[in-house]
Amino acid sequence: MLTEALSSLATVTVISENEAIEHIMQLSYDMILVDATVVRDVPSLIAHIRDRLPEANVIVGAADLNWEMARAAFQAGALDYIDQSRSIRELRMLLARILEGQHDPFALSI
């Protein structure tokens, strides 16, 4: 669903957790979406991303809202933790605000 929401806003590259570290070592990204439902260690992945790309907007998405995971993601450096069950329109609006730099990092989006 996130790929569909972003496709009209930016170039979307979908990669596995194992490929993520390799890709961020080679390329630069404006936004990185981490799917918490498929990544085993979300905080660790965010820490790796932050080490290489401190300016990237790291967004964690999850189908199930989990406050413990959200807190761990924020502590690791995520900009937001979003509910993937939102409508495509809502996701697109949120992601567009982030890409345009108009996101309020203190307004939790779950």
Q: When comparing pLDDT for 65 and 41, which is higher? A: 41
What's the rounded Cα separation, in Å, for the pair 84 and 62? 5
Dihedral-angle region of residue 13 (phi above 0 means left; psi in -120 to 50 means alpha; beta otherwise): beta
Query: Domain map of the chain by residue range?
Result: 2-99
> Computed from CA positions of residues 66, 97, 35, 60, in that sequence, does the dihedral angle turn out positive or negative?
negative
Nearest CA-CA partner of 62 in 83, 86, 41, 78: 83
Residue 9 carries which DSSP code? Answer: T
CB 45 within 8 A of CB 34: yes
Phi, psi of 45 (to 5 degrees): -65, -40
| Mean pLDDT for all residues in the chain | 78
Query: What pLDDT shows up at residue 77?
Result: 93
Look at residue 104 in the predicted model and tell me its pLDDT. 55
Nearest to 47 by CA among 12, 78, 2: 78
Q: What is the pLDDT of residues 51-96, one digit of tens each?
A: 888 888 888 888 887 889 889 999 999 988 888 777 778 777 877 7
Higher pLDDT, 60 or 1: 60
The answer to whether 63 touches 87, Cβ cutoff 8 Å, is: no
User: What CATH class has 2-99?
Assistant: alpha beta
**pLDDT value, residue 106:** 43
